[in-house]
Amino acid sequence: MINRENLTAMKRKIAMSQYPRTLLRLGSLACLITALFLLFTPWQGIASPKTDKTAVILDVNSAIGPATAEYIRRGIDYSAKQDAALMIIQLDTPGGLDKAMREIIKNIINAPLPIVTYVAPSGAHAASAGTYILYASQIAAMAPGTNLGAATPVQMGGMPGTPAPEAEDKQKTDSNQEAMSNKVRNDALAYITSLAEMRGRNAEWAREAVLDGASISAEQALKLKVIDVIAPDIKQLLSEINGRQVDVQGQARTIASQGLVLDQYKPDWRIKFLAVITSPTVAYMLLLLGIYGIFFEFLNPGFVLPGVVGAIAILIALYAFHLLPINYVGLGLIILGIIFMVAEALVPSFGALGFGGIIAFLVGSILLIDTTAPGFGIPLSAIIAMAVINGLFVIFIVGMAIRARRRPVVTGFEALIGCQGRVMNSDDGHYRVMLNGELWLCHSEYELSTNQLVEVISVDGLTLTVIPIVK
């Protein structure tokens, strides 16, 4: 008999049992908010005061991207706080994203101190975006055995993998593509020419680098007045540029580089983290992890971990895609493909939704990154691997649906046979067993005890015959 006091106690017990889960959810939410705060809030280390003049050195030896732009921006801020005499960007890059390159150049032009871009060590190169950065710096230097050039702008906004147009539309399509290509090329040409005129460098060769993809060695660059100095190392570089006059924010300044203390500025955890997540492959994997994490949380409400991990992963992926040149049609196809595959699991269509989703996912993955800039593509092997995994998932779901359809359907009381329950109490050889949330009257040839697990072996009207489960 359940009275009001027992009912109140049961409610209190249920409420208390929910506290750990509630605390876990609140803790997960707090971790998510903290991670987002640390991710989106700029953080600057406190510069320790120095008594000697310094030359701050930044090492850029990868493709130019959002992380590189942030690294150079923070390096300039750090150099200004240190009251450094100059900042040296040691450069070795195959090129990169136009947006990141222009952000770097704006920071260089508006920096409160001279910027030296030094293509080094020997064997390094400054291709594509690296050539523009070299032209924008007050001092352009190269080590022996290096080269620069190949500044022709790469395709932006293209649709690789798009089907070829019909014959009657081909001429119109070619004309549109040529017009767009000319606009991009002319913009790049005007940009590098303005940088050459601002720094007094060879504008004619800069135009060749853009129009013809010209590339030259360090010795040729010095001869053609593309660069200012050839130096085998930074010590020699500082000696060569000492006493040179440069323009800093519209004012003439003489470089005093003798006796400078070298200060290597290394990227902190935030820049390294940004470099990782803005890798197109990593951002792509984070997006998939986030979508599947949220999907599994919906399938298992209250499990918490998949939902928390999925939410964090998808937010980080969206932040990375915000910084990358992506094709939103490709992103939409990926999401649509995953929705179709999830729908296959929830509403089996025997492959129609699932395999349609795989095709949408595969095409969207190919179209996702909207640039051919070096270092910013998703490897085809990664796309194929994820498509195969999704295909296996769909095949598994379709197989389960087919087996379920072939399995004979058992309804009514016969469906209780084989079910397991727990003995709640006994009364003169008869037992009450909790089965699927309901109390059933049962009897057994064996003696049963309270809380013992039993299995149903037959049904006679509203009475069940059970046997004990021996573990």
Task: Please identify every residue annotated as catalytic.
Answer: 128, 170
Q: How many CA atoms lie within 13 A of 384 on its CB side?
A: 3
d(CA 463, CA 432): 10
Q: With the C-alpha atoms ordered 165, 171, 176, 182, is the resulting torsion angle positive or negative?
A: positive
- Contact between 66 and 323 under an 8 Å Cβ cutoff? The reply is yes
- Contact between 129 and 95 under an 8 Å Cβ cutoff? The reply is yes
Beta sheet of 229-230, edge-to-edge order: 229-230, 139-142, 115-119, 86-91, 54-60, 261-264
Omega of the bond leading into 121 within 30 degrees of 0 (cis): yes
- 């194929």: which residue's tokens? 384
Listed in sequence order, the residues at least 6 apart from 8 whose beta carbon sits closer than 8 Å to its beta carbon are: none
> CB-based burial of residue 47 (10 Å sphere; 0-12 exposed, 13-18 middle, 19+ buried)?
middle
Q: H or E element: which one contains 292?
A: helix 280-299
d(CA 277, CA 281): 9
- Contact between 118 and 91 under an 8 Å Cβ cutoff? The reply is yes
d(CA 96, CA 242): 32
Q: What angle do CA 167, 172, 178 make, to 5 degrees?
A: 120
d(CA 140, CA 156): 28
Q: What angle do CA 141, 49, 133 make, to 5 degrees?
A: 25
Q: Which two tokens stand for residue 419?
A: 């079910």
How far is CA 87 from each of CA 115, 234, 304, rounded to the nearest angstrom?
5, 12, 48
